Amino acid sequence: MNAFHSQLAAASAAAESLVCVGLDPEVERFPAHLRARPNAILAFNRAIIDATADLVCAYKPQIAHYAAVGAEDQLQDTLRYIRERAPGVPIILDAKRGDIGSTAEKYAREAFERYGADAVTINPYLGRDSAEPFLQYADKGIVILCRTSNAGSGEFQNLQVGDRKLYQIVAERVAGEWNSRGNCLLVVGATYPGELADIRARTGEMTFLVPGVGAQGGDVDEAVRNGRAKQGAGLVINSSRGILYAGSGEDFAAAARRATLDLRAAITQALRRP
């Protein structure tokens, strides 16, 4: 098990949780008392982290939400705060990068050296050589898009290539080749439970990052039943908006905690089913 997977397993065991909280701050959705504050994003994230630190196996800040408003400093401070408040909980930087090798090196440096993330999401369209600068970070988690949670993801991902679909080829290629250092994970949306089962069958014990529960409507029970691995659960189940915006008043953090508890409980229940 590589360092990222060990860290993830330890955090998951400590919190008895497969829940990953996505930190996708949108100031316009913040409670009114926070909106006008300087560094509102950091204040919001700190409240969410305080409310959920004992309940999660990972945090996943989505970088576009910071980049859109020039809030790189608040992203950096959010990561620092996670290290302080939730030591041992791994941080997955959701960036979905993908570029030719010389540029991919810079993106890897952004994720792992500038921000010090433990894992990063990447896009496979450019092929393995574009992933290699990430894959060389043997201690990190490299989370490759396979079957994404959005409604239109089948346009290319479901194209039929001989006897397999494109997403199946991506899954097999990653499991069989890209994962030679044991540091790969796959993104598979909870909104496609059939594909979750299919990709599980093709990839053995790989860990899946599963977005799409909560605001996107994926069913937790089905996702767990179809996506779980034979040994460990092999799942990191992300909710962003469903947790962050569970409440809209001054008690938003308490509402976020309740939503996280509910999701954790739903997953636990699903895991107990035979």
Which residues lie near a copy of itself (CB under 8 A)? 24, 62, 64-65, 67-70, 72, 96-104, 106-107, 109-110, 113-114, 123-130, 145, 148-157, 159-162, 166, 169-170, 173, 211, 216, 241
Q: Is 60 a catalytic residue?
A: no
H helix count then E strand count, the chain: 13, 10
Cβ proximity to a copy of itself, 186 vs 233, nearer residue: 186
* Residues near 21 by beta carbon (within 8 Å), at least 6 away in sequence: 48, 52, 56, 58, 59, 60, 238, 239, 240, 243, 244, 256, 260
Q: Tell me the two tokens of residue 130.
A: 């574009």
Minimum distance between the CB of residue 97 and a copy of itself, rounded to whole angstroms? Answer: 7
Cβ proximity to a copy of itself, 29 vs 258, nearer residue: 29
Cβ proximity to a copy of itself, 33 vs 128, nearer residue: 128
Q: Name which of 256, 218, 263 is nearest 25 in CA terms.
A: 256
Catalytic residue among 60, 96, 140, 230: 96
Cβ proximity to a copy of itself, 12 vs 130, nearer residue: 130
Minimum distance between the CB of residue 126 and a copy of itself, rounded to whole angstroms? Answer: 5
Q: Name which of 228, 190, 227, 245 is nearest 212 in CA terms.
A: 190
DSSP-based three-state secondary structure for 238: strand
Query: Active-site residue numbers?
Result: 96
